[in-house]
Amino acid sequence: MSETEQSSIPYLEAYCKHLSYQRRLSPYTVRNYRKAVECFVLFLKKDQQWQSCFSGINQATVRSFLIEEQGRISRRTLHNYVSGLRNFYTYLRQEGQCSSNPFSQVLLPKLERTLPQFLTESQMVSLLEAPAKMLHSKLISRFDAFRDNLILELLYGGGLRVSELCSLKHGAIDSKTGVARVLGKGGKERICPLGALAMASLEAFIEGFHFSSEPEAPVLVDKKGQAMQPRQVQLRLKRYLQFAGLPMSITPHKLRHSFATHLLNSGAELRAVQEMLGHASLSTTQLYTHVSIQRLKAIHAQAHPHG
């Protein structure tokens, strides 16, 4: 959908601002919810129902839309669409633009919770060593090596989400204690220990390149001193995965999975890991215990004389 078409959808921009500033949802979630509204409007335009999209939508229309989308997108994306559109119509009701929410009664089968993908500890070491090795081989610049080492140490050492990493300011980090105040999902603040290696990487980057470390200055910057964006971080990570011969399916968020899994494997308490990750529900963190149990079962099967 073109920018002109997007801007012609009444209340879409206001809805997205509401999600960002009132609901404090992540840019990733806001982008997904926007996409859901745009797709629904395109569907309505095909069926000549565009003009009545706020007040004339019935369950039959909603079902037709979901059936059509089901054939071309994943189940997880379909769940995201329903959530985004349910929230959109809730917002419209609050603004007095419609009398009912056509998505309020939509029930989709529960998604199966898949075990998170993560790197083993030895794989993680290979990844963390990649920037220095690439610098030694003159494959990257000194700036990229120092900055990208900091990226990897913060993602793995602090268990940060990529959006949290990119929005991290120097003023949020206490250099004496080695902890950061991180603004997570829903605008909730949490305390994240970053680890000695991450703090050493930060100090080396600041001293080596003399970028501003004022409280409001971003921690991660490009060569021009501009704050890095999540997509830039993802692309930098891909380069080191390729160099280290690691799965290219690994994302910044899967380094967060690795952080949690390795902590639990080393005996960390589940509640403590939940706090460090900023999970609202303990059940979300418990997924990582299943990973640890699977690892123990694999070791048992391999090492026990009776299999």
* 89 and 150 fall within a common domain: no
In a domain, 283, yes or no: yes
Catalytic residue among 18, 34, 86, 161: 161
* 127 and 83 fall within a common domain: no
pLDDT at 261: 87
Catalytic residue among 33, 91, 156, 288: 288
* 133 and 37 fall within a common domain: no
In a domain, 66, yes or no: yes
- 288: domain CATH number is 1.10.443.10
In this model, does residue 1 exceed pLDDT 60? no
Q: What is the pTM of this model?
A: 0.69
Is 300 among the catalytic positions?
no
Higher pLDDT, 115 or 249: 249
In this model, does residue 5 exceed pLDDT 80? no
Number of compact structural domains in the chain: 2
In a domain, 251, yes or no: yes
* 211 and 267 fall within a common domain: yes
* 16 and 57 fall within a common domain: yes
In a domain, 197, yes or no: yes
In this model, does residue 149 exceed pLDDT 50? yes
pLDDT tens digits for 221-233? Answer: 999 999 999 999 9
Mean pLDDT of 8-24: 88
Catalytic residue among 147, 256, 257, 262: 256
* 245 and 200 fall within a common domain: yes
% of the chain with per-residue pLDDT over 70: 83
In this model, does residue 113 exceed pLDDT 80? no
Kindly report which listed range (63-77, 168-182, 184-198, 290-304) carries the lowest average pLDDT score: 290-304
* 88 and 128 fall within a common domain: no
* 175 and 215 fall within a common domain: yes
Higher pLDDT, 182 or 146: 146
In a domain, 113, yes or no: no
Catalytic residue among 79, 253, 254, 295: 253
In this model, does residue 220 exceed pLDDT 90? yes
Catalytic residue among 34, 86, 236, 279: 279
DSSP 49: -
* 157 and 250 fall within a common domain: yes
Per-residue pLDDT band for 117 (boundaries 50, 70, 90) equals: confident
**How far is Cα 208 from Cα 264, in angstroms, rounded to an integer?**
35
Is 288 among the catalytic positions?
yes
Is 279 among the catalytic positions?
yes
Mean pLDDT of 166-194: 88
pLDDT at 86: 94
pLDDT at 50: 56
Domain that holds residue 44: 3-94
Per-residue pLDDT band for 4 (boundaries 50, 70, 90) equals: very low
Higher pLDDT, 284 or 128: 128
In this model, does residue 145 exceed pLDDT 80? yes
* 37 and 167 fall within a common domain: no
Mean pLDDT of the chain: 86
φ, ψ for residue 259 (rounded to 5)? -55, -50
CA 230 to chain centre: 9
* 189 and 281 fall within a common domain: yes
Q: Which of 31-45, 101-115, 122-136 has the highest mean pLDDT?
A: 122-136
* 155 and 214 fall within a common domain: yes
Catalytic residue among 185, 190, 254, 295: 185
Is 11 among the catalytic positions?
no
